[in-house]
Amino acid sequence: MRIRKRSFSFVFDFFSLIFFERSLRRPFFFCLLGMSLAMSIVLATISLMSGFDKSLKKSLRSVQGDFYFYHHRQAPFSLDSFYYFLGQEKQEPENVAFSAFYQTQGFLLPSSQQYGKKSTGVLIHFVDEFSMKEVTKREEFSLLESDKAVLLGSELAKDLGIKKGEELVLLFSLTKEDSNSSFLFFRGIFQGVVNHNLFEKDSRFVYAKRSSLQHLTGRDDLINRVSFNSFRQNDESGVEMSSQLPIGYKVEPYWSDFSTLLEAVKVEKVTLLLILQLIVLIAGMGLTAFLFFFYEEKKEMFFLLLSLGMSKRRLCLSLLVFLNVAHLFAVLISCGMLKIFNEFFFLTNLFSKGKAIYNLVELVPSLELTDYLQVFLLGYLLVILLALWFFYFLFKKPVMALMRSREV
């Protein structure tokens, strides 16, 4: 314990030596910078991968709540099926935030105001604005005031160049499972946009009131999906619920459509973390090279400390503490660099350019504590392993061998 405590006292001397000696200052500075840069590059990459995962999940969650309940053939069903499921889960409908709606594919036909525009394939949602607002926490649904009101995904509205109050025509059919299936026209008034932050949703989603569908079809119970928020803590999968479901029905978590992409991102994140550690390894080699350089430059000092009674074990321990402090500096600098990278991404809006490919309109880099630990600890491990190699080199020689080349 005592030997460890005393080792710290010489770490300051090593640093002051580096600070005061120009020949050491510059190599040390660049080694530290290299190490910091390497770690910040790994962190920036990981933060983008995690940010993608998080932003995508966050956006998806705000589209239709935590889970959705549906029949596997997309057929209309009675809300009683959902109530039955809730009963199996020992839940009262009053205590669960849910919204029943009808989702169908259709076409948005250009009206006279959108001259020159082609008709567009869209996914139409006839929703109950109050319950949908409660489930998704989206204020935009308040705009569905009248039966004619229509909301469009932000990208779709931008593409159409449509203005508030302009007319829209929706052409759609009810699903084939529905006996009354036929093409229906709906003339609506554009009231505003819904920004999902998901390119795919923003360019296809159309919302109208469920009551307007009721007027068109004469049926007030027409629903084929129920979105609901989780009533259990830490429940992400919905798999558990499947066992309680009526036959033919399914419950999927909000991210299930993108599960393959999310899984791929997860795997890629680990792969990249490992591959990019090579950069850290190279930077770590730089730091070890500095240690050898420091030793060659300051042979006399090491020899003096050993001849005055410092054991090799303690000298190595002091150098190890010195490396730990240097690594800590590198960690702090890399955090600063990461901040700069993220600012750069934000200012240049780099990732919005690939929104059609990556789906996300906006990507916010994100890092968990475990991501930091993985990068810093792996970097630390590499530095320590390389340092041990140096210590082995130091240990196997007698003290005098340090000075022999100087012919003392």
Q: Which residues of the chain form contacts with other proteins (CB under 8 A)? A: 2, 6, 9-10, 13, 16-17, 20-21, 300-301, 303-314, 398-401, 408
Query: Residue 260, Cα to own-chain centre: how many angstroms?
Result: 15
- If the CB atoms of residues 2 and 90 are measured against other proteins, the closer one turns out to be 2
At its nearest, how many Å lie between other proteins and the CB of residue 310?
A: 5
- Among residues 283 and 402, whose Cβ is nearest to other proteins? 402
CB of residue 5 vs other proteins: minimum separation in angstroms?
9
Name which of 9 and 78 has its Cβ closer to other proteins: 9
Backbone φ and ψ of 98, nearest 5°: -140, 160
Cβ 220 vs Cβ 214: under 8 Å = yes
C-alpha R_g of the chain: 32
The number of C-alpha atoms within 13 Å of 49 and in the hemisphere containing its C-beta is 21
- Kind and range of the H or E run holding 148: none
Nearest-approach distance from CB 401 to other proteins, in angstroms: 8
Nearer to other proteins, 340 or 400 (CB): 400
- Tokens 């829209």, residue located: 168
Report d(CA 340, CA 172) in Å as an integer: 49
Q: Which of 185, 105, 195 has the alpha carbon at shortest distance from 156?
A: 195
Minimum distance, C-beta of residue 289 to other proteins, in the bound complex (Å): 23
Of 303 and 329, which has the nearer Cβ to other proteins? 303
In this complex, which beta carbon is closest to other proteins, that of residue 6 or of residue 176?
A: 6
Contacts of 215 (CB under 8 A, 6+ apart): 147
Burial of 356 (0-12, 13-18, 19+ CB in 10 A): exposed
Question: 366, 54 in Cβ contact below 8 A?
Answer: yes
CB of 395 to other proteins, least distance (A): 8
Shortest CB 282 distance to other proteins, Å: 31
